[in-house]
Amino acid sequence: MPESARDTLLSAHHISKHFGGVRALNEVTLSIRCGEIYGLIGPNGAGKTSFFNVLTGLYCADSGYFEFAGQRLATDAPQRVAAAGIARTFQNIRLFARMTALENVMVGRHLRSRSGVFGAMLRSRAMREEEAAIRRRASELLHYVGIADCASQLACQLSYGDQRRLEIARALAAEPRLLALDEPAAGMNASETAALRTLIQGLRDDGLTILLIEHDVKLVMGLCDRLAVLDHGEKIAEGTPATVQNHPGVIEAYLGCETGAAYA
């Protein structure tokens, strides 16, 4: 990785989140470099999605803070996080089912539009030109993720794998610097997963930084530059895939056994 790509894009400092007596996150600290694919893994209930939800403004952290591109990141509202340059997908697909694929991606562009309510009401020339530009960009993104031929289909009519791709295209419409993917391969077959891997690698090659939650260990180990492992809300390991998969604490967290027995 070139030296310029090693600059930190996102830093999490001592992030904690509790739900009543349940400790979802406890003093989680990590950093993500520009241009890398960074994985966040751990057993079910480890706190991975809670971390995503705090980062993207769906939950408020009880303590701790984030820095993004060298600035303190306001995570009190999802729209402020998105405007700062972070977009995400969800573990459970959240598309507008009765809108076309093209329309879904166009909706994702709203943060970067300028016409506003009055421009839309008056149908000004500037508004019409902007809408045409949004439509063109949405078409380009559908082509980019490989579902250009689905542009006029309703989202609910797409295959599961294509819905996943559509959700990524919609996130890309916001022009993020960091794309957070929450289990994008969930429910995919082997060929769909292979195509997803190629897409994610292409996103990184085009300059995007990726934060990835994924249960497909083979995909994660072959795709990520670095990983952090959460267990019961705490970070127990961080490093390259080779380092993490041989970490005694990680083996114990996944296998639920004593470290020595894990190698037996």
- Looking at residue 180, its pLDDT comes to 97
User: Does the global pTM surpass 0.75?
Assistant: yes
177 within 8 A of 35, measured Cβ to Cβ: no
Question: What token pair was written down for 199?
Answer: 């897409």
CA atoms within 13 A on the CB side of 52: 23
> pLDDT of 92-122, one tens digit each?
888 999 999 999 999 988 766 665 544 545 5
Residue 222 CA to chain centroid, in angstroms? 18
CA of 121: how far to CAs of 1, 133, 190, in Å? 49, 18, 47
CB 89 within 8 A of CB 171: yes
pLDDT greater than 50 at residue 263: no
Domains of the chain: 1-85+176-264 (3.40.50.300), 94-175 (3.40.50.300)
Q: What are the tens digits of pLDDT across the range 133-173?
A: 899 999 999 999 999 999 999 999 999 999 999 999 999 99
